[in-house]
Chains A and B, each alone.
Chain A
Amino acid sequence: MNFLPVIVMNGILLVVTVLLTIADRVLINYGECKITVKQEDQEKEFVVEGGNYLIADLTANDINVSSSCGGKATCGYCKIKVLNGGGEILPTEEIFMSREEKHDNMRLACQVKVKNDINIYIPDYLTTIRNIVKNRSYDPKLRWIFNITDLKKEAEDDERFVTKLDKSEKSRVEEMVDAYRNTKGALIFILQEIDRTYGYFPENVLWYVSQLMELPFTHVFRVSTFYNAFSLKPRGKNIIRVCMGTSCYVKGGNKILHSLENKLGIKVGETTKDLNFSLDTVNCIGCCGQSPAVSVNDDIYGYVKISKVDDVLKKYK
């Protein structure tokens, strides 16, 4: 037998390892970085050596992030939310992200390099899917019976969301769902109804709706985040919408908006601390003749001037 290949192989391996180690020492030296992971029910913090991809550090610290392509930005399953640190979103990730997700600073864990302290959040609607992957990996009984019905069952079993609703609230949601159950495109009507009742979409209500409608939660979530008029965050009692349509804009709509922002101390899309006002923009409210226009709840104010803004606000205080 010719054992030369063993020697050659080891020679090449040695050269490669030594080169990489040297490069590691000389080129990449980010020092120690702290990673803070927030999940719905727990928070974890650990210190790693910088320079690795986030997914590797997470896996090493027993946080399961699903991935099927082994960290090559091909499957797009390892989504997490970066609260701070981690840099800009990369073009390799953009194709996997919806506009909403980009706005939320969602990233692929396999593309985020840990170069400094980083703070991430793994939303629950992602971990629900992940739990199954976890079960699949660790529980030999569950391993081979994985399919979509399990996913649904898992969500149903997950009492965390639904138990937060008390009985009266549950029946209120049931009523809304029943009213539209047989209508075409029922979900959107139901969501509108919820919006009217709560002023926003509480997460547990959405979960309950997805159960009642027998729709995947992701579907309900998708619809409810699509429209500008809907919000996942609590909204003020009065919603101010500043028209940004062409004629209103030309007539100074954005100046009105700025003055409202200053007066209320909030930015567009936010709600005042006392939950009295929410500020939004809208693309047209059909009052181009009276531009610039502002609507508060169902009332419309035309020919608004900056000096008049206070008067309008006073009515709702």
Chain B
Amino acid sequence: MAKNIKKLLRAKGFKVMMIGLWRDNPVFCMLLGICSGLAVTNKVENAIAMGAGVTFVLIFTALTISALRNFIPARVRIITYMIAIASFVIIVDRFLQAFYPVIREAIGPYVGLIITNCIIMGRAEAFASKNKITHSMMDGLGVGLGYSYTLVIIAIVRESLGFGTILGFRVMPDGWTNWVMMAMAPGAFFVLSIYLWITRTIAGVESKE
């Protein structure tokens, strides 16, 4: 099991992110999930909570859709997906409210917006509706981890520059003046675009090998 996860992390979460993702590659483009992802990356803990929530919803939606894939009537396909996704999102929401109220308050309505996170619909439609349950769940886990990864990387940059801390621990020297813009909306755009720039350039280099 541990070996499997290791393999998965190495192959899916990273290689696809770094190599597959930034080329003309038809697996999945990370740009699909940024809607609710960008807004919560101002603190690492929020990013982790969001990533975990999305991963949870991805896995269980995959489970549901995959199990029902032979029974879903074509006319109500999308509605079925939405019922499943929204239910799991509500579970995540209640769970956060009960056990992590501080994080829940910080990311507030964005938890609900996991429903419209394109990655989940995309995976349900493109993968889970055609594949075995175990494969679909593994796929959900892989994609979810890949997504969480990116959020955390962006959040680390934004939190350390914007608040001088990472996960609440001070990392910047004492003289550091917080770069307020990083914690606000424009910072999210800038950090993501630089992240894209770097990863795409790396991917470009690798493709020439």
Report if A and B touch in the complex (beta carbons < 8 A): yes
Q: Which of B16, B118, B122, B131 contacts A137 (CB 8 A)?
A: B131
CB distance from A163 to the nearest CB of B (A): 26
Residue among B7, B15, B28 making CB contact with A147, cutoff 8 Å: B15
CB <8 Å contact, B26 and A144: no
B-contacting 9-mer, from A65-73, A197-205, A267-275 = A65-73
Interface of B is mostly: helix
Q: Are A16 and B79 in contact (CB under 8 A)?
A: yes
Given contacts A17-B76, A144-B11, A147-B15, contact A68 B27 (CB under 8 A): yes
Check: B121 CB closer than 8 A to any chain A CB.
Answer: yes
A26: interface (CB < 8 Å): no
Q: Which of A39-47, A52-60, A185-193, A234-242 contacts B (4 or more CB under 8 A)?
A: A52-60
CB pair A67 B126 closer than 8 Å? yes
Listed residue (A69, A129, A140) with the most chain B CB atoms within 10 angstroms of its CB: A69
B contact residues, total (Cβ < 8 Å): 38
User: Could you give, for residues 16-30 of chain A, a 1 whenever the CB lies within 8 Å of some chain B CB and a 0 otherwise?
Assistant: 110011001000000
| A218 interface hit (Cβ, 8 Å) | yes
CA distance A68 to B23 in the complex (A): 14
Q: Is the CB of B125 within 8 A of A75?
A: no
**Interface residue? B40 (CB, 8 A):** no
Contact A68 B29 (CB under 8 A): yes
The reply to whether A146 and B16 contact each other, CB–CB distance below 8 Å, is yes
The answer to the question of B166 belonging to the interface, with a C-beta cut-off of 8 Å to chain A, is no
- Say how far B199's CB is from chain A's closest CB, in angstroms: 14
How far apart are A46's CB and chain B's nearest CB, in angstroms? 14
Check if A143 sits within 8 Å of B26, measured CB to CB: no
Quick one: which of B123-141 are within 8 Å of A by CB?
123-127, 129-131, 135, 138
Q: Is residue B91 contacting chain A, with contact meaning CB distance below 8 A?
A: no
Interface size on A, residues (CB 8 A): 35
Kindly report which residue of chain B lies nearest to residue A56, judged by CB atoms.
Answer: B74
B28: nearest chain-A partner, CB-CB: A68
Asked if B135 and A140 sit within 8 Å, CB to CB, the answer is yes
The answer to whether A148 touches B118, judged by C-beta atoms less than 8 angstroms apart, is: no
Contacts of B79 in A (CB 8 A): 13, 16-17
Determine the chain B residues whose CB is within 8 A of the CB of A138 once the complex forms. 131
Inter-chain CA distance A144–B56, complex, in Å, is 20
* A133 lies within 8 A of B12 (CB): no
Contact residue among A17, A52, A60, A77 (Cβ-Cβ distance under 8 Å from B26): A77
B7 & A133 in contact (Cβ 8 Å cutoff): no
Taking the complex as formed, is A95 at the interface, i.e. its CB lies under 8 A from any CB of chain B? Answer: no
A301–B201 Cα distance when bound, in Å, is 50
Asked if A145 lies at the interface with its beta carbon under 8 angstroms from chain B, I say: yes
Q: Please tell me if the beta carbons of B20 and A59 are within 8 angstroms of each other in the complex.
A: no
Closest to A72 in B: B118
- Report whether A66 and B26 are in contact in the complex, using a CB–CB cutoff of 8 Å: yes
Contacts of B123 in A (CB 8 A): 70
- Per-position binary interface string of chain B over residues 1-35, scored 1 when its CB falls under 8 Å from any chain A CB and 0 otherwise: 00000011001100110011001111111001000
CB pair B19 A144 closer than 8 Å: no
Q: List B contacts of A129 (CB < 8 A).
A: 26
CB neighbours (8 Å) of A133 from chain B are 26-27
CA distance A74 to B32 in the complex (A): 8
A129 → chain B closest CB, angstroms: 6
Q: Within 8 Å CB of B129, what residues of A?
A: 59
A246, chain B: closest CB distance, angstroms: 38
Docked pose: A146 CA to B8 CA in angstroms: 11
What's the Cα separation between A285 and B147 when bound, in Å? Answer: 55
Taking CB as reference atom, which chain B residue is nearest A17? B76
Closest to A9 in B: B83
Contacts of A218 in B (CB 8 A): 24
Chain B residues close to A by CB (< 8 Å)? 7-8, 11-12, 15-16, 19-20, 23-29, 32, 74-77, 79, 83, 118, 121-127, 129-131, 135, 138, 142, 206-207
6 extra A-B contacts, CB within 8 A, seeds A70-B122, A148-B206: A59-B130, A68-B28, A68-B126, A69-B29, A69-B121, A148-B23
Question: Which 8 pairs across A and B sit closest by C-beta, in order of nearness?
Answer: A70-B125, A144-B11, A70-B122, A66-B26, A68-B28, A77-B26, A70-B121, A69-B122
Q: What are 18 A-B pairs with beta-carbon distances under 8 A?
A: A17-B79, A20-B75, A56-B77, A66-B26, A67-B126, A68-B126, A70-B122, A75-B29, A136-B27, A137-B127, A137-B131, A143-B135, A146-B16, A146-B20, A148-B20, A148-B25, A148-B206, A218-B24
